[in-house]
Amino acid sequence: MQIKKLYLKNFRNYSEETVEFSDGLNVLYGANAAGKTNMLEAVYLTSIAKTPRTTKEKELVLEGEKYAVVKVLVENNFRSHKVEIIIDDKGKKRILVDSLPINRAGELIGVVAVVFFSPDEMKLVKESPDYRRRFLDISLSQQQKEYFNALVKYNKILKQRNNLLKSDYDDMDAMLDVYDVQLSDVGLVILDKRREFVNTLKTYALKTHKFLSDNGETLEVEYETELTKDNFLKLLKKNREKDKKLSFTTVGPHRDDLKLIVNGKDARKFASQGQQRSIALSLKFAELELYKIETGEKAVLLLDDVLSELDVKRRTQLLELSKEYQTILTCTEFDSYEKAVKFKIENGKIIKREY
């Protein structure tokens, strides 16, 4: 999969700009706040209809304008697609794929596949399990529509169950019996998909982490859950009174985690900043491999300001790993000898292209 062209109008600090990317390494360079990350954000938006930076999508519209437009032209092994997203100044979105409007974000999944890394992705390691579950959910949703549909259904049932727990409904237990069966049925689909994904992911994550650490460290990745096919429904019923007191559901895949072990120690507790970066990168490159295995396509790699914290050797290693994929990379300066198409950005404009 390759992004051939990106068009922006009134998006963040871009009044209007068009970029044609190469199929290899593309470097967006310039001073801080020039608009480099905004361009990556626009590409990411066309992938899952959300941005990694804000939940207030009206912020994406250039100040003083009524709307923003993001368009990408993408090619895969079989055909090309055009994705267009229009956002008004209230944050309302319209999405078109090949000029046809779509009503659900699920219809967009898989049209533009990306793997995104920024310094914030280090939260994957040290922050709450929410970040690691989000990594699993986005990765799997891009690869498998069955997973995305199951996740949407699960979250809908979970919300209904939680709303019931907060209510004064007279016959609550009878309704909880219904929701418990529904939640466990679709939850088991999510569990199976996650376990299968992690079981493959860990092999590639270990390989990448060894490469980045010069064989100095090992990385183990395990899916952490108390749930099984036999006990899910039983645990929901066992924890029912607790759930009533807390007014939310305490059992399910929405409570699970990824265990990350480096050289026998729990990285979620003990990883240094450098280790956190290497672990997060290892997970992202493993995600790229799994997307290729599952779909036969290569996702596009988006790297935001990743070089600034790496020494020369680590930069070289990272660029070596990225060679197999179309890569769009942001940085303040790019002094590598790697072959790349470079775009200098200033104040939301491309002022120089070097092919």
Question: Residues 114-130: pLDDT tens digits?
Answer: 999 988 888 999 999 99
Choice among 27-41, 149-163, 233-247, 312-326 with the minimum mean pLDDT:
312-326
Whether residue 36 contacts residue 350, with contact meaning beta carbons closer than 8 Å, is answered with no
Q: How far apart are CA 69 and CA 94, in angstroms?
A: 10
| CA-based R_g, the chain, Å | 22
pLDDT at 209: 93
Has residue 337 got a pLDDT over 80? no
Residue range(s) of every CATH 1.20.1050.90 domain in the chain: 122-294
Average pLDDT of span 55-76: 92
Has residue 87 got a pLDDT over 90? yes
pLDDT at 23: 92
Q: How far apart are CA 206 and CA 217, in angstroms?
A: 9
More confident residue, 155 or 33: 155
Residue range(s) of every CATH 3.40.50.300 domain in the chain: 1-113+297-355
CATH superfamily of 122-294: RecF/RecN/SMC, N-terminal domain (1.20.1050.90)
**pLDDT averaged over the chain?**
92
pLDDT at 43: 95
Has residue 89 got a pLDDT over 70? yes
Q: How far apart are CA 89 and CA 225, in angstroms?
A: 42
Q: Which CATH class is domain 1-113+297-355?
A: alpha beta
